[in-house]
Chains A and B, each alone.
Chain A
Amino acid sequence: MRKEALNSVRAAIEANTERRSLEQLQAQGKRHVRVVSGGKILEIIKAIVGDIVDREVGELSKRDRDRIVHETKTQFDRVLKLQNDQDAIVREQRELLAEHKAKVERLERERDALQGRLDKDRSEQSAREAKMLAEYQGRLASFSQQQGSQAQLVSDLEGRLAKSKATIQNYDENIVRITAQAEAARQEKLQVERERDALEGARVESEQAIAELEGDIESIRARCTADLETARTEARRTLDAQGQELHGLAERSRKDGELLERMKEALQAKELEVHRLTGERDTLRAELDAARQQAGESQGVSALRGELAEMKSFLRTLDERASRVDESTVQALLTQLAQRETVNSTAMEERFSATLDKTIDQIAKTMAAATAKPIDIAVEATDVLIDRVFDMDEEMHTNLEQLDVEVKTSKAGIGGNLARLKAMRSGAPAPEAPPEESAEGEPAAPPSKKPVSGAMERLKAVRQSSPAHKSD
């Protein structure tokens, strides 16, 4: 056996044995003991193991034998360790047991001490209580003498106590009520604050919206004002040009009028001349008649008659020519003047109307352009959509045809309304249409012919009053 195995067995023996002195043995009454040496034990074990192995296994090689020994040693060590552990546990348990026993003894001692103290306190307490009882009984005896007067006092005190309690209860109720009121007021205040905040927010939003709108209005107003100013300036310019043109036309008309006046004067002069010549002729005729009456017919009379006839024919020719010329001239002049005036006034008015219409249209267009929205032509393929919805009928299932709808009869009928509508349709007059208005807001006046027609009338009157016409 190897040295390691020997050491292990030795350790096992030492672990499972204990030293005892000779005196101890003698104290135990032992007089004789068998002493076994470790070496002997080892040899015994070795022999036993060898016999067993030989008997059970047979001849083993040295290597096998060493292996078996090694395994046996390992097993032995393990068993030894287990045994040592168990011994340690046993020792530990013994120690714990010893501790518990000591603790139990200590607690018992304490219990005994406390029990003794308790008994002592109880006895003392009993003595004190007895003493106090005696004392109270003495006091009670003395108090009973004053009981009569104190009972009243007690009842008074009880009454005052009840009143105080009621007062306190009232105070408590008031406190609760006031607390509730304060809470309600606080809630109300919070609510008001919330409302105020909400209104403040709404006010701010409104102000912002108003500011934006005002900005938009201002810009539109400025734009419209600028456009209006431009249109106004252009209209003024156009009107000025038209005014100047009208002035030119008026000047020309004035000049034509002057010419007409001059021609009228010439005509009047000619009429005077004719009148004078007619007067001279009448005078000559009168003289001739007078001379004829005085001198009778003479040769000179034939000559004078002949001359008179010539003069008459000459005057007549002159008169006719003058009247023809005058009339044709005047007629031409008057016609020309009438046309020119008509044309001028009509043209002026038409031009003015056209210019004003144009200016108003321009202003209207400018305003419309300032506020115009793009023309929107909307279209929706709703018919296609609905066709598709109805095409899905086969995929849809419903119970609507099996159910009733809420039905009620209307309190109001429609018979009277229908009758009235039909009556209106058949015989009611159409709404009064407003009168047609021109652009200026007044009915357009026909071209003025007053100046021309008046002149014609005057001329005709003059002609009718002239002696040349009267003689015819």
Chain B
Amino acid sequence: MSGDTKTVRFNQPAPSATTGAAPAKQGAAAAPAKGGTKSTSAALGRGLDVGTANLLSAMQDASGEIVVKRERNAFLQIPSEFGSNRDMLTRLNVPYVSFRDKLYVLGDASFNLANMFGQEVRRPMCDGFMSPNEQDAIPMIRFIIERLLGEPQVEGEPCYFCIPAPSIDRENDTVYHEGIAANIVKKLGYTPHSMNEAHAIVYSELADHDFTGIGVSCGGGMFNVCVAYKTIPAVKFSVARGGDWIDGHVAKVMGIPRTRATAIKESDVNLMSPRTREEEAVVLYYRNLISYVLQNLKQRFQLARDVPQFTDPIEVVVAGGTSLIGGFVEVFAEELQKIDFPLQIAGVRRAEDAMTSVVRGCLIAAALSEG
């Protein structure tokens, strides 16, 4: 994605001192300031991003660096006769779980083997939430989370995991999802706490703005939005559309397989300059999704009560895999300027490390809870 713009600024008067000066480069604020971390390092505490496509965990090591572990949130059942030589699987670095007479391969390896066996991988989560229809998935996701978190450093170490907000356009089983994740984390010896995933982005990306602004988590299953004022979330919601929604619609309208649509979307596409008809379709659905999110944010903000007064223009930060496509920030800014938003927006930018922004926010919350 060379030449991809990561920040778009709107022409606004200079902000007052209350919300801080115009932000310095995000890298400076979020750079691994080892000197700073030594004085404020919090070794205890874990962050856990429970996403539809990927699971990530974060912790601070002894030197204060943030160590992130990632695993694909998928598994595959393979015929037992193929897994008879389990030592071979271990030598090939293929993680497996065998239960009774079934053999399951977890994570990235499941995708590779799926092609070989001509099967589809199975997903424990659908559209951002645990799928109650995949009962087999619960032991699998337990093992993946255990693999990512490992043993706690102390019994009851706090672990903050992200959860999506209830969707405005679909019925979600938030209680089931949160319950499963919390109980798995608790069984592993941690003290579980949940936090909204867009709120986690506010924690990780808006420190220079006194944690005031809008965080948007652009995931595979859904988009989450949080408007926060000095760390306090004022408006939170989600929409049940994400990268998978774009893939499905592009595949349908262009008459191509879904995997092909995904490959096009993840190739060197720039939303500001599509080159083929397929890329034009991708642009169309991206714009529609962004406009849908912004229109609903505007409505939610106008209907909300007890909303704080934002005296200065605020920043919008986007993160997540679906925001990595070229031109996303510019398109977001364009769509934002088309609507009469009730808040003044200083600009739109993408998180420096968009894939780990949510898990870092969770880690910050966990470290903060330790004092």
Contact = CB atoms under 8 A, between A and B. Distances in A.
Given A382-B179, A399-B90, A415 B64 contact: yes
A395 interface: yes
A392 B37 contact: no
Interface stretch (A361-369, A419-427, A442-450): A419-427
B51 to A, nearest CB: 15
A382 B204 contact: no
Given A397-B97, A400-B147, A407-B67, A198 B364 contact: no
A414 B352 contact: no
A420 B142 CA distance: 34
A398 B96 contact: yes
A417 interface: yes
B58 interface: yes
Contacts of B97: 396-398, 400
A422 B368 contact: yes
Interface in B326-371: 351-353, 356-357, 360, 363-364, 367-368
A457 B250 CA distance: 86
Interface stretch (B26-34, B111-119, B266-274): B26-34
A414 B139 contact: no
A410 B66 contact: yes
Nearest to A192: B277
B184 to A, nearest CB: 6
Interface residues of A, number: 50
B86 A418 contact: no
Nearest to A188: B277
Contacts of A407: 67-69
A399 B86 contact: yes
Contact of A403 (B42, B69, B93): B93
- Central interface residue in B65, B179, B180, B309, by most chain A CB within 10 Å: B179
Given A383-B179, A422-B40, A396 B33 contact: no
B95 interface: yes
B211 A424 contact: yes
Contacts of A378: 173, 175
A378 B176 CA distance: 9
A95 interface: no
B30 A416 contact: yes
Main secondary structure of the interface of A (DSSP, over half): helix
A135 to B, nearest CB: 72
Nearest to A411: B353
B138 interface: yes
A265 interface: no
A415 B99 contact: no
A29 interface: no
Given A379-B175, A411-B352, A420-B207, A405 B36 contact: no
Contacts of B279: none
Contacts of B300: none
A413 B70 contact: no
B230 A382 contact: no
A395 B100 contact: yes
Interface in B243-298: 252-255, 277
B210 interface: yes
Contacts of B138: 385-386, 389
Contact of A416 (B33, B175, B176): B33
Contacts of A422: 40, 368
Given A389-B138, A431-B308, A408 B89 contact: no
Interface in B11-30: 26-27, 29-30
Contacts of B27: 411-412
B29 A416 contact: yes
Contact of A418 (B40, B69, B90, B148): B40
Contact of A382 (B29, B95, B180, B364): B180
Interface in B22-64: 26-27, 29-34, 36-42, 58, 60, 64
Contacts of B60: 414
Nearest to B148: A405
A28 B353 CA distance: 128
B180 to A, nearest CB: 5
B108 to A, nearest CB: 8
Given A409-B65, A415-B36, A386 B230 contact: no
B36 A402 contact: no
A406 interface: yes
A414 B86 contact: no
Contact of A414 (B187, B277, B360): B360
A386 B180 contact: yes
A387 B106 CA distance: 21
A385 B180 contact: yes
Contacts of A195: 253-254, 277
Nearest to B254: A195
Contacts of B230: 424, 428, 431
Contacts of A395: 99-100
A431 B212 CA distance: 11
A342 B180 CA distance: 63
Given A380-B176, A400-B143, A418 B367 contact: yes
Contacts of B68: 407-410
A412 B71 contact: no
A194 interface: yes
A77 B65 CA distance: 118
B229 interface: yes
A199 B364 contact: no
Nearest to A382: B179
A398 B356 contact: no
A380 B86 CA distance: 37
A400 B37 contact: no
Contacts of A379: 175
Contacts of A425: 368
Interface string A177-210: 0000000000000010011001100100000000
B238 to A, nearest CB: 17
Contacts of A406: 69-71, 108
A417 B203 contact: yes
Contacts of A392: 99, 139
A408 B32 CA distance: 13
Nearest to A194: B255
Nearest to B47: A414
- Central interface residue in A194, A199, A396, A399, by most chain B CB within 10 Å: A399
Nearest to B87: A399
Contacts of A402: 90
A217 B173 CA distance: 27
B232 A431 contact: yes
Interface in A132-161: none
A310 B39 CA distance: 103
B367 to A, nearest CB: 6
B231 interface: yes
A390 B143 CA distance: 10
B153 interface: no
B368 A421 contact: yes
Contacts of A403: 90, 93, 95
Interface in B127-177: 138-139, 142-143, 146-148, 173, 175-176
Q: Which 9 A-B pairs have the closest CB atoms?
A: A382-B179, A415-B37, A412-B30, A386-B183, A413-B32, A415-B36, A410-B66, A417-B207, A378-B175
Given A199-B253, A418-B42, 9 more contacts: A383-B179, A399-B89, A399-B96, A412-B32, A412-B204, A412-B357, A414-B60, A415-B36, A424-B231
20 contacts: A195-B253, A378-B175, A382-B175, A395-B99, A398-B96, A405-B69, A410-B58, A410-B65, A412-B31, A412-B32, A413-B30, A413-B33, A413-B65, A414-B66, A414-B363, A415-B36, A417-B204, A419-B40, A424-B231, A434-B306
